[in-house]
Amino acid sequence: MNNRDAKRQRKIHTKRQTRTERETDRQKERHRDTERQTDVETQRHREADRQIDTETQRDRQTDTKTHRGRQTERHREADRQKDTDTQRVTQRDRQIDRQEVHRETHKERQSDKQREREREKEREKERERERERERERERERDRERQRQRQRQRDSERGRDIERERDIERERAQREREKEREREREREREREREREREREKHRETPRHRETEKDTDKETDEDREETDRQKERHRDTERQTDTQRHRETDRQTQRHSEADRQRDTETPRGRQTDRHRDTERQTDRKTQIHREVNRQRDTERQTHIDIQRQIDRQERDSQTNRERERERERERERERERERERERERERERETDRERERETDRERDRQRDRERERQRETDRERQRDRERERERERERERERREREREEERERERERERERKRERE
């Protein structure tokens, strides 16, 4: 079940990532189309400038033969110098704009890196806390195993003492009175235990109420911590939004200042020989303004697209990081579940081992009982053998006495016969 959930989550994450990458590719393609359109517009403006230059050259060739034409030529030289100065100022403004964009991009990247470092530090702290909790759990398990071994040793020691008592009771029947006294003591202990049990049952409701209050306070603390984290995230999002808006307003103010600077053209030349030159200059200036305005719009569009791409990449990175964090949390939960399962398995194995030890102890007890019974039987058999041996010995002695008496009677008869012969 967990593997299927993990596969489904990975599939969903892969689809989301693929969808995000496709959207990013489409935005980049639209950005490239915009740049190509800008290049086409720039080429069209260059063609218009070349056409204007061609017409101006034709007018210059026509007007150089007259005094009015020579004055017009001098005015044209002055206009070219002014256009050169305007071009130099425009290039300097563009360089300043590029530097400003570069600084803004660098600041945003530095801010992203700083936030990433802070998040990495926070994740490292969380991992360290998790390792500390794992070490604490391991120490608690070690203490529990030591307590269990101590209880097992105490239990074995108690069983040994009980076996000695059983042997002592079997060996010495004279201590029946002491045994009855011990029985009365045990009865008093059981009475005290029942009294303690009744006291504990009387105190149980208060203890349960205390546990409920403690659980309630723990849940409230956890909810308060979650609310604080949510407020902190809202504050960060609001700060990021405000910073982006301030950056957009600064860019807009710079663009307004550039347009205001570009719209200011010298006025006051009222003579006839200047009017043609001014109209020509105004037309070229208007063309340059349109080109600059188009470039400003394209630059702003490029900045907006780049910001949107960066924002989407940051959001995608944040989502991926959150997904990885959730996956790690699920993995830690599965690991904790496996650890609990292993702990339960160890508990069951310990119970089985205790049961086997109890069975072995019962077997050893039965073996000792049988051995004692066999020893008793052998002792009885030896007693019977000794009794039969004594009986045979008495029988031999009796027969020996009978033979001795028979020999004595035989000697007596022999003496009697001897006397008879004499």
**CA 339 from chain center: how many Å?**
15
The reported pLDDT for the residue numbered 418 is 85
The reported pLDDT for the residue numbered 293 is 78
- CB-based contacts of 23, cutoff 8 Å, min separation 6: 312
The reported pLDDT for the residue numbered 113 is 84
The reported pLDDT for the residue numbered 46 is 81
Distance CA(344)–CA(87), nearest Å, equals: 82
The reported pLDDT for the residue numbered 250 is 66
The reported pLDDT for the residue numbered 8 is 79
Q: For residue 305, count other CB atoms closer than 10 A to its CB.
A: 15
Distances 128 to 117, 121, 122, 171, 338 between C-alpha atoms, Å:
16, 10, 10, 63, 21
Look up residue 55 and give its two tokens.
């017409």
The reported pLDDT for the residue numbered 189 is 84
Distances 115 to 29, 121, 189, 228, 240 between C-alpha atoms, Å:
30, 10, 67, 19, 11
The reported pLDDT for the residue numbered 275 is 67
Distance CA(24)–CA(349), nearest Å, equals: 57
DSSP class of residue 271? S
Distance CA(33)–CA(26), nearest Å, equals: 10
pLDDT per residue of the chain (422 residues) written in tens, 0 to 9: 567 777 778 888 788 888 888 888 888 888 888 888 888 888 887 888 888 778 777 766 665 555 555 666 777 788 888 788 888 888 878 788 778 888 888 888 888 888 888 888 888 888 888 888 888 888 888 888 888 888 888 777 777 777 777 777 777 777 777 777 778 888 888 888 888 877 776 655 544 455 455 555 556 666 776 777 677 667 766 766 666 666 667 666 666 665 565 555 454 445 556 667 777 777 777 777 777 777 788 778 778 887 878 888 888 888 888 888 888 898 989 998 999 998 989 898 989 888 888 888 888 888 888 888 888 888 888 888 888 888 888 888 888 888 888 888 888 888 888 888 87
The reported pLDDT for the residue numbered 268 is 46
Instruction: Tell me, letter by letter, the H, E, C secondary structure of 302-331.
Output: HHHHHHHHHHHHHHHHHHHHHHHHHHHHHH
The reported pLDDT for the residue numbered 207 is 46
